[in-house]
Structure formats: structure tokens, C-alpha cells
Amino acid sequence: MTKESKDTTQSGGERQQQSKFEQQRKEKLEQIREMGLDPYGGRYESSESAAAVKARYKDGDDNQRANCAGRIVLLRDMGKLIFMTIRDWSGVIQVGLSKKLLAEQWALTKLLELGDIIGTAGKLGKTRTGEITIWADEVTILSKSLLPPPEKFHGLADIDLRFRQRYVDLWANPEVMELFRTRSAIISTVRQFLCGRGFLEVETPMMQTIPGGAAAKPFITHHNSLGMDLYLRIAPELFLKRLLVGGMEKVFEINRNFRNEGLSRQHNPEFTMLEVYQAYGDYNVMMELTEEVISECVAKYCQGGTSKFDGREIDFARPWRRASYAELLEAHSGCDIEDLAAVRQKAEHLGIAPSGMDDEVVINKVFEATVEAKLVNPTFVIDYPAALCPLTKRKAGDPGYAERFELYAAGMEMANAYTELNDPAVQEANFRLQLRGEDETMARMDADFVTALKYGMPPAGGLGIGIDRLIMVLTGASSIREVILFPLLKPAAE
């Protein structure tokens, strides 16, 4: 590896050093142009992936050839012989370059550097150390890199820089590329599972006139032509339920939600959510569906049916535990959910200031503080206080509780599901209760959704699964930023 290959941090003398290296690379770029070559290449035919070439290699066959394209990530110049390692998104392969084989192209090979993207073709063989190698008789420059890559072969280490320069992170750190390939595969598995069960994939508006479907602060934008404010959706729920009214009995959407709230290792303002609705179902049907779809992913992507997350092993063996909200609250906080004085006293002991909070809000904050972290293996928390669930059907015979569950694993909420409320009068009353004390007018209530319910929505179960968190737990990624290609970050310091 050349001495110029430094981590591309952006402070002081290092910026000057990087500028110096960039200038040197620009000079080599001009030398390539003077040879009559385009340093930014074009279409490259017949290239195989590095992994495919290695997989088909046969010992003892001297007539094998290979043609690969990739980025130079290792370079050893030994005078009349150069060894390079090139990387594509399937892996790496070694390329041997000799002055004897390349003849007129030898001058070009002497201008190649770490980070350059090349195409190479030649006979396939092995070195004395047994490494599969393309002995190139043809080299094509496809893209000249003007900035030096990270210092180490295995990568860019600075966490903030990794997220800001994901375009470097992906090829400098092979495990990052593999993680995002796994992310894509998991989403594909979820999609195929649901389609196989007869669900129809749909798309609903990202920009909405009224933000609804969840209690969260929205991002506001403005439509110039219509002269009106719009909101990036916080959830697709109310539109998906309109489709149930329209007769689409099994629907799902995998798409972005936006919530104008804080950032943490579990939260990004823009995140991917799966939402599923099934007519004539309830939250028990959704529990079964949740366990089945996640277990399908576990079987494919978690060896032995377990994953390691945050130093703990998560065991996905079925059946998953089911426990009531009240039962778990009492077990871990010592408070009976009906003893509001004890719950408020516990809140104060935990440093929560309960003054001015509704009882249900205090109960839920105590639950979050005392219960959530204890739920390591998958656990369905069922039957929430009804006041926390304005879109949920109440339990028959016990209207103080709602037919809702949340799935927890690794101490995080993974999924949320309801038996959906389909009584328009109750839904309108709940909307009005939600808006109590709001500064804006009642026009913010989604009256059209209430109208839709008046036409009749079948009884249904609804489910939301946080895709980013699911991928975190299945892959062991420590932060949501690790599983989002371009997470939101503060502007970099100048």
C-alpha cells in the first residue's frame, strides 16, 4: 500500500496533505489523457463478478480466462511485476500485471493507484501461495480516483466519517457492503412472504394534508401551486384503512415515514416501516403473522435461530412469549396498574415528573423505564390501556383496555398492532379527544377518514413493523445509523 493512502479526515494539515495527493493524482490523470485514453472510461463488456470467477476456477485447467472490473484496494509494485487486489460488490480477486504480458499497456499500469476503477482480462491461474489470480493481458482504466482511499485495507474507521462518506465506507469496509446486501434480502423476504399469503402491495401518499395515524410531530412543507402546507407522513395507516373500505382486503406497504423528533441509536427522523392490514382479522391474527414473517427472516439470516445484539443473545425459538401490559408493569415496577398513587410515586422515584400528565401517560412512562429493557427475547406485550390507543378497538367486556400488542426484542419495540377500530362515532370521538387543548382548529381532524368509516370498514387487524430495527436485531448492528445508507447527520464542521 502506498504512503499516500491516509484516512480522509478533514482537519488542518491533513486537508493540506489530501490536497497535495489530489494534485499528484490529477497530474497522472493528465498523463493518461496524453496517452489518448479516457480516464473515465465507458461501457465495459463481459465482466464477471470476483466471486463468480473464484467459484468456477478449476485446478489444473490452463485454458481458463477471466474478465473482471473493480476498484483497486491493494497494490504492490515490484518493478516489472505488479500485484493488485480489485474489489467489486461480490468480493475481491487478485490481478497480476507483468511488463512482458502487457507490453504497450505497461505505461498505463504504472499510473494506476489505490482507488482507481479498472477492467482487466487474462488467463486465470494460481500463485505459488495458492491465490487465484488473473494474469492480465489487457487493462482498461474505467475511473481515475482523485482522492486517496482510507489507510487500511479493511477500512474507514472513523464512525462519523463512515456515515458522511458512505460511498467510501461501502467499498472500504466489506462487512458494510454485506450488511446492506442482507438488508435488501430481508426486505425482499418480507415482501415475498406477504405476497405469498395473498397480500397486495400498495403505495399511499407521502405528502398529506393532515398528518395522522400516529402521535408524532410532522415535517411541514409547502405546495406553491396550490398555496397550501403539506406534511410528510408520520404513518400510512389512515390511507391503508381507506383501502379496506374500498374492498382491498389484504394490503401492505413498505416505505418511508418521517417524524420531526430526536435522534438516537434507535431513532432516525426518516425510517422504513412495514404496515399490513387484513380484513376480518384482529390483533391475534396479526400476532401470528408477525411471528411467522420474522421467523422466516430468522431462518434465512440468523444462524441457529439466534442473533447477538448489544452483547446479548436473542433466541427466536417459537412460540414467543405473550404477556399483558398490566402483568409486566407489576412484575418489573412493583405497581398495580389500578393503583395510580403508587404508579405516580414510582414515577417520581424514577426521576419522571408526573405533575400535569394524564394518568395513562405516567403509567406508560413507568412502563418504558422499568419493563422495556428487560424484554430480551421476543415478547408480545398485549392489552394496552385504552387511552393510549385512539385507533384501536376496546376489549369486549373490559373497555378500559385495547386489543393492541407491541412486540419487543433486545429491549426495543419492534412492532405495533391493533384490532382496528371501525365504529365511525367512536373514532370521531377519539379524534376530538386527541385534539383537546390543541391550538389549531378542529379542521385538523381527518374528517374524510371518519366519512370513509361511515361507508363501512370491515373488522380488521393492522400491523406495523420497524424495518430498520428489525434489521438491527437480525444483523447485530449497534445503531440505526448502521443500517440506513444515508442517515441524517448534523452538517460537518468546516
Mean pLDDT of the region 430-449? 70
Query: Once rounded to an integer, what is the mean pLDDT over residues 230-248?
Result: 96
Predicted confidence (pLDDT) per residue in 165-212, tens digit: 999 999 999 999 999 999 999 999 999 999 999 999 999 999 999 888
pLDDT per residue as tens digits for the range 292-340: 999 999 999 999 999 999 999 999 999 999 999 999 999 999 999 999 9
| pLDDT tens figures, 47-59 | 899 999 999 999 9
CATH for 12-155, among 3.10.20.600, 3.40.50.2300, 3.20.20.105, 2.40.50.140? 2.40.50.140
Q: Is it the case that residue 394 has pLDDT exceeding 70?
A: yes
Please determine whether the domains at 12-155 and 174-320+377-482 fall in the same fold group of CATH. no
> How is the chain split into domains, by residue range?
12-155, 174-320+377-482
Give the model's confidence band at 160: pLDDT under 50 very low, under 70 low, under 90 confident, else very high: confident
What share of the chain in percent tops pLDDT 90? 81
Given a cut of 60, is residue 63 above it in pLDDT? yes
The reported pLDDT for the residue numbered 36 is 96
Decide if pLDDT at 231 tops 70. yes
| Position 3 pLDDT exceeds 90 | no
Mean residue pLDDT across the chain:
92
At the fourth CATH level, the homologous superfamily of domain 174-320+377-482 is: Bira Bifunctional Protein; Domain 2 (3.30.930.10)
Using pLDDT thresholds of 50, 70 and 90, give the confidence band for residue 492.
confident
pLDDT the model gives residue 206 = 96
Identify the pLDDT of residue 442.
Answer: 34
Give the mean model confidence (pLDDT) for residues 222-234.
95
pLDDT at 259: 95
pLDDT at 8: 41
The rounded percent of the chain whose pLDDT value lies above 70 is 94
Beta strand pairing call for 132-143 and 117-126: antiparallel
Pick from 28-32, 104-108, 426-430: least confident: 426-430
